[in-house]
């Protein structure tokens, strides 16, 4: 099944980083997420109940990332992936977490993970 629902460039201001100064400020993270979902049913029914609601996913991602401080973007990625799969019954996803303020001489840094199985 190759259908997907995507969220691109979701900005979440987070307490993120390994240094003391980073624990006292908020920095933006950008999340890109690609989720396997059978879009044929919502495509026929035109009913949000059949769809993977990207607004609901975005709200839950924001709440999760802002709930507590994190040190590594890897940890953010892992917890976000786990939450989306369990809360929304997503069986496969690809998630990228970017930290654009991390390096002064780079546009951005990021980690990307894939979890679950493509059926």
Ligand X SMILES: Nc1nc2c(c(=O)[nH]1)N=C([C@H](O)[C@@H](O)CO)CN2
- The residues assigned a catalytic role are 99
Helix (H) or strand (E) holding 110: strand 110-116
42 counts as binding ligand X under rule CB under 6 A = no
Closest-by-Cβ residue to ligand X is: 17
Residues 88-107 touching ligand X, rule: CB under 6 A, are: 99, 102
18 counts as binding ligand X under rule CB under 6 A = yes
Q: Partners of 112 in the beta sheet?
A: 96
Q: How many residues in the shown chain lie near ligand X by CB under 6 A? A: 9
Rounded to 5 degrees, φ, ψ at 103 are: -120, 130
- The SS3 assignment for 57 reads helix
Q: With respect to ligand X, which residue has the nearer C-beta, 19 or 117?
A: 19
């Amino acid at each position: 099944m190759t259908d997907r629902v995507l969220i691109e460039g979701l900005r979440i201001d987070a307490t993120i980083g390994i240094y003391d100064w980073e624990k006292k400020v908020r920095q933006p993270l950008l999340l890109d997420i690609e989720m396997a979902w059978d879009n044929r049913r919502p495509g026929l029914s035109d009913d949000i109940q059949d769809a993977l609601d990207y607004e609901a996913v975005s709200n839950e991602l924001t709440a999760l990332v802002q709930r507590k401080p994190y040190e590594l973007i890897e940890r953010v990625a892992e917890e976000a992936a786990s939450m989306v799969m369990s809360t929304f019954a997503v069986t496969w996803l690809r998630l990228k977490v970017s930290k654009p303020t991390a390096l002064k001489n780079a546009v951005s840094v990021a980690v990307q993970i894939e979890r679950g199985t493509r059926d």
